[in-house]
Structure 1
Amino acid sequence: MIKEKKVSSRFIYFFGAFGGILFGYDIGVMTGALPFLQQDWNIENAAVIGWITSSIMLGAIIGGALAGQLSDRLGRRKMILIAAVIFVIGSILSGIAPPNGHYFLIAARIFLGMAVGAASALVPAYMSEMAPAHLRGRLSGINQTMIVSGMLLSYIVDYLLSGLPATMAWRLMLTMAAVPALILFFGVLKLPESPRFLIKNNKLDEARRVLSYLRPKETLESEINQIQEAAEQEKLASQNTSWGSLLSSKYRYLLIAGVGVAAFQQFQGANAIFYYIPMIVENATGTAASTALMWPIIQGIILVLGSLLFLVIADKFKRRTLLTLGGTVMGLSFILPAILQKVIPDANPMMIVVFLSIYVAFYSFTWAPLTWVIIGEIFPLMIRGRASGVASSFNWIGSFLVGLMFPIMIATISQEAVFAIFGVICLLGVAFVRIRVPETRGYTLEEIESMEESRQAKQKSALLERAGL
């Protein structure tokens, strides 16, 4: 066996973060490419626009579902390498789609989406398994920052390439995603396998060697013992629970809370802005979408700044407080333009874009990162794997449906009315949080589960009291 070279923790965290940047790039790149693609292929059918844009999310649903299972068999590192290869191939296939090859491009983006879904599951898992315990709490926020940085990078690349002829511009925008994918591939080649995976597969010596690169010698054995204990607990949990366990009275409330937050995050309409902001500006002002590529950059900067703000305030405010604040302002930012348009018909059409920027600002430090924090905190060990998978699936499905339906909706009703609908969903999300989601900041998983059991006991006692028993 070839002895692995020592790899610095900075190198590991950099390429873990780079996976998030790549994920964000592929999510955002179609924002700038779509106007040129529409111009090149003369696409006017709203359903075709929706399918081409959202197809990457359809692939992500498949990739996210497969990645977790395959990574338990093949290893985190190997699966990230496979995802990087799919990134490269999918990006190139997207860029060489034949003229008017709608179905070819949709298929290529579904294939590419499998890598997006895999990366969204694998990269944070790998980073958390490599990082020391005191850094794991920040990883959700850091991963969110890297994803939105990747989106901002894609918007900048789109803007820089916007001066090219239409047929060349969109092809280069999509193909350029292969460059960071290659960097990720060659970087991960130098990384070791996750010690958690190695221990679960009875490769203690290799796990000990990898951890020796990252931890002080005096804490090495205690961490190995902790990982072994956690692995045994997970094994016991998988043996003693089934999919049906998720709907048992003991866990149903927490499942509904976690899945509900994940679904609301998407159905609130954020991705409609991120995918279609040039189209939104075109509908508002009448100027060509291909000339509105500075707006995605502005939205991207707001997203990055908001994600950095979250890193500062994440543990200073209650989860429910931030979600309530964010959802309320987001809802009003969508509803007010529709009201103002009725009251002041001659108002500046760019008013809606200003309100959308306010929406993005509050989304970026509330619902965007906190959804994943809550999913990581709310589920007890016995159902965590299955419940997290269900919540993630609902999130991807919501993202796919919003991307698919938005252009169809604005082709049917006014843009202000569409956003007003999203605004109502935002406010319903706030109501859901206040009624159904328990506070998780500062509580252990065991305490959260205990609070739920106490709540159920009080409900049962109240029902018996009403029945006179």
Structure 2
Amino acid sequence: MNVMAKAEKKISSAFIYFFGSFGGILFGYDIGVMTGALPFLQADWHLENAASLVGWITSAVMFGAIFGGALAGQLSDKFGRRKMILMSAIVFMVFSVLSGVSPDMGEASAYYLIIVRMLLGLAVGAASALVPAYMSEMAPAKARGRLSGLNQTMIVSGMLLSYVVDFLLKDLPGEWAWRLMLGLAAVPALILFLGVLRLPESPRFLLRKGDEAQARKILSYIRKNPAEIDQELASIKETAKEERQANQKTSWSTLFSGKYRYLVIAGVGVAAFQQFQGANAIFYYIPLIVQKATGQAASSNLMWPIVQGVILVVGSLVYMWIADKFNRRTLLMVGGAVMGLSFILPAVINWMMPNMNPMTIVVFLCIYVAFYSFTWAPLTWVLVGEIFPLAIRGRASGLASSFNWIGSWLVGLIFPIMTASMPQEAVFAIFGIICILGVIFVKTCVPETRGHTLEEIEEQGTNHGRVKASNPEN
């Protein structure tokens, strides 16, 4: 036992935070890998004119993630965060390999890959739910903001990694290129599994299970001050007690009662707008977008995803620098306005100048990605983490996550169908209008959370509900 304690004691907080957030790499890799794999897959299976099948193959992971996040949240309360992250890594490894070895059976191959990628999506959704929960429970309160930024950096780093892998494999024979791109997703999953084997369980989970001695021991690895450990243990106990009482008093209908409706609509609305604004259309389909704009083969345009990936990583670092310098609403409105114009202006320019350089749209997409990367991408989840009162936090956060995954799935599914039936500029203009609607939503329906305690934010929602009740015409 003493040997094991010494072995655990050697685990540094840096190791815990690195592998605690490493699940973001898996999430990001699988978002990005299909970007490069899709052109080769289309050519290999002759899917160039099968827009709906291409949409389903691309978005199947997100469809599975809708259920994976909800399922993992419930199971992690029973079995622990660490065990469920390990299980997610195993599922990710297995179905990544099965994606890479998809049999060539004509149209049936596409349905096989759709099903496998849906099951892979269970692991992606689980990782997206479990990693932030584990990190928030391991990190000291003063570091949670920066560490939420670390999770976002891991996600976009995973996307960039997948883009680089796609680029390096692009000269292989087409039937091998896409298989290796998809199958190599098992490598970061294996690294995650091996790293998490050495991670401790969340002290919060251990306390909920009545193991205070082990919770105190783990906190001693990542907190230096004994008084801080005692204070945190007492705080966790009090919060757990309040959550149990809240769960006994609330139901799904509580979310839409007058007291909470304003904050629930705000949080769920921001989560939904983040995806319906069309970011994933760029991340999934940028080589095909460039192909349609220029006529060059999509498989020869795999440098563009790397450009997008670099912008995303730089943007995530910019966010960590400015996160506490500007109001949440200000960043969301400025970001959304520029994103909307980046989508709308190419359509306007093309209408006024039909001979516009086709690469103009790609330049504007880069501007979109830059502003998305340090506004809506990270701030959505910061705001969702802050805005929901304790009594409804679990259910409301789950609802916000579900709407976000539904938006991600639908954008991935319908984008190729839309571009097959209308000009590309018109499709992006539609997403641009949604971006502007998102700005209006933030302006009118979302409270400022920066610098406010959770209690003050809840009071804003309560007061807003009272005003609405007393002035129904408003």
Q: TM-score, normalised by structure 2?
A: 0.96
Q: Deviations over 1:245-302 (max 9, x none)?
A: 0010100111111111001000000000000000000000000000000000000000
Q: Structure 1 residue 444: deviation in Å?
A: 1.0
The structural deviation recorded for 1:223 is 1.2
Q: CA deviation at 1:221?
A: 1.6
Distance 1:171 1:444 in 2: 49
Tell whether 2:290 aligns with 1:278: no
Matches of residues 450-461 of structure 1 in structure 2 within 5 Å? 450-461=459-470
In 1: Cα distance, 2:228 partner to 2:323 partner: 28
- The aligned amino acid for 2:332 is L
Quote the Cα distance in structure 2 between the aligned partners of 1:204 and 1:462: 50
Structure 2 counterpart of 1:81, one-letter code = L
Q: Which amino acid aligns with 2:357?
A: N
2:177 maps to 1:173? no
Give matches, 1:161-310, under 5 Å: 161-216=169-224, 217-310=226-319
* Alignment correspondent of 1:69: 74
**Residue 138 of structure 2: aligned partner:** 130
Q: Decide which moves more: 211-220 or 116-125.
A: 211-220
Following TM superposition, by how much is the alpha carbon of 1:130 offset from its aligned partner in structure 2, in angstroms? Answer: 1.0
The aligned counterpart of 1:103 is 111
- 2:143 is matched by which residue type in structure 1? L
C-alpha contact (below 8 Å) 2:384/2:397 kept by paired residues: yes
For 1:221, the aligned partner's letter is D
Instruction: Provide the residue aligned with 1:445 in structure 2.
Output: 454
For 1:150 and 1:456, locate their aligned partners in 2 and report how far apart those are by CA, in whole Å.
Answer: 41
Distance, in Å, in 1 between the alignment partners of 2:294 and 2:454 is: 50
Determine what percentage of the aligned residue pairs are the same residue. 68
Q: Deviations along 1:295-343, whole A, 9 cap, x unmatched?
A: 0000000011111101111111111111110010100100010011111
The answer to whether the Cα contact below 8 Å between 2:284 and 2:412 also exists between their aligned partners in 1 is yes
Q: Does 1:78 align with 2:83?
A: yes
Distance 2:465 2:184 in 1: 53
Q: Residues 403-450 of structure 1, C-alpha deviation per residue, up to 9 Å, x if partnerless?
A: 000000000111000000000000000000101011111111111111
Q: Distance in 2 between matches of 1:407 and 1:168?
A: 24
Supply the AA of the counterpart residue of 1:11. F
Per mean C-alpha deviation after superposition, the further-off stretch among 139-148 and 244-253 is 139-148
User: 2:148 aligns to what?
Assistant: 140
1:455 and 1:226 map into 2 onto residues whose CA distance is 29
Q: What SS does structure 2 have at the residue aligned with 1:21?
A: helix
Q: For residue 453 of structure 1, report the CA deviation from its aligned partner.
A: 2.3
Aligned to 1:343: 352
Aligned match of 2:400: 391
Q: Which amino acid aligns with 2:77?
A: D
Whole-angstrom CA distance in 2 between matches of 1:78 and 1:458: 46
CA distance in 2 between counterparts of 1:395 and 1:252 reads 18
Aligned residues: 465
Q: Deviations over 1:67-100 (max 9, x none)?
A: 0000000000000000000010010000000014
Unpaired segments ≥5 residues, structure 1: none
**Structure 2 Cα separation of the partners of residues 281 and 356 of structure 1:** 11
Residue 331 of structure 2 corresponds to residue 322 of structure 1: yes
The letter of the residue matching 2:240 is: A
Deviations 1:216-241 (A, max 9, x none): 22322221111111111111110111
Map Cα deviations across residues 348-403 of structure 1 (whole Å, 9 max, x no partner): 00000000000000001111111001100110000000000000000000000000
Q: Secondary structure at the match of 1:368?
A: helix
- Counterpart CA distance in 2 for 1:252 and 1:460 is 11
TM-score by length of 1: 0.97
> Deviation of residue 126 (structure 1)?
0.8
Distance 1:49-1:42 versus aligned 2 partners, 3 A rule: same
Aligned to 2:306, what secondary structure does the other structure show?
Answer: helix
Partner residue of 1:11? 15
Q: Give the SS at the match of 2:431.
A: helix
Q: Residue 27 of structure 1 is aligned with which of 28, 31, 50?
A: 31
CA–CA separation in structure 1 for the residues paired with 2:103 and 2:468: 61
Q: Distance in 1 between matches of 2:470 and 2:356?
A: 56
How much does 1:26 deviate?
1.1
2:193 counterpart letter in structure 1: F
Offset, 1:463:
5.5
Give the whole-Å Cα distance in 1 for the aligned partners of 2:228 and 2:376.
36
Distance in 2 (CA, whole Å) between partners of 1:118 and 1:299 is: 25
**2:262, 2:464 within 8 Å by CA — same for their partners in 1?**
no
Aligned partner letter, 1:183: I
Query: Considering only aligned residues, what root-mean-square deviation do their CA atoms show, in Å?
Result: 1.3
Partners of 1:314 and 1:58 lie apart in 2 by: 31
Q: Is the 8 A contact 2:449 2:457 kept in 1?
A: yes
